[in-house]
Amino acid sequence: MKIGVIVPAAASDCEGGRPSWPAVRSFARSAEAHGLDSVWMYDHFFYKPSDGPIDGQLEAWTVVSAVAAATERVEIGTLVLCSSFRSPALVAKMAATADEVSGGRLILGLGAGWHDAEYDTFGFPKDRRVDRFEEALRIVVPLVRGETVTLDGRYHEARDAVLEPAPARRIPVLVAAVRPRMLRLTARYADAWNTAWFGAPDDRVRERLEHLDAALSAEGRDPATLERTLGIEVRDPEHVGMAVEDGEDRSFRGSVDELAEAIDAFEALGIGHLIVILQPMTEASLERLTLALSRRR
What mean pLDDT, rounded, does the chain reach?
95
pLDDT band, very low/low/confident/very high, at 242 (cuts 50, 70, 90)? very low
Global confidence as pTM: 0.95
Confirm if 48 and 117 have CB atoms less than 8 A apart: yes
Burial profile 280-293: b = 16 or more Cβ within 10 angstroms, e = fewer: bbbeebbebbbebb
Lowest mean pLDDT among 5-19, 109-123, 125-139: 5-19
Query: What is the distance between the alpha carbons of residues 139 and 148, in angstroms, rounded to a whole number?
Result: 9
CATH numbers and ranges of domains, the chain? 2-294 (3.20.20.30)
Residue 175's pLDDT is 98
Bigger pLDDT: 297 or 278? 278
Residue 248's pLDDT is 67
Lowest mean pLDDT among 26-30, 46-50, 93-97: 46-50
Residue 243's pLDDT is 47
Give residue-wise pLDDT tens across range 77-122: 999 999 999 999 999 999 999 999 999 999 999 999 999 999 999 9
Q: Is the pLDDT of residue 68 over 90?
A: yes
- pLDDT (average), residues 183-198: 98
Count of all residues that appear for the chain in the document: 297
- pLDDT (average), residues 238-247: 56
Residue 227's pLDDT is 98
From the list 229, 236, 241, the residue with the least C-alpha distance to 255 is 236
Q: Is the pLDDT of residue 245 over 60?
A: no
> How far are the Cα atoms of 59, 70, 176, 241 from residue 110, in angstroms, in the given order?
15, 23, 7, 33
Q: What is the DSSP string of 152-168?
A: E-SS-EEEEE--SSPPS
Q: Is the pLDDT of residue 241 over 70?
A: no
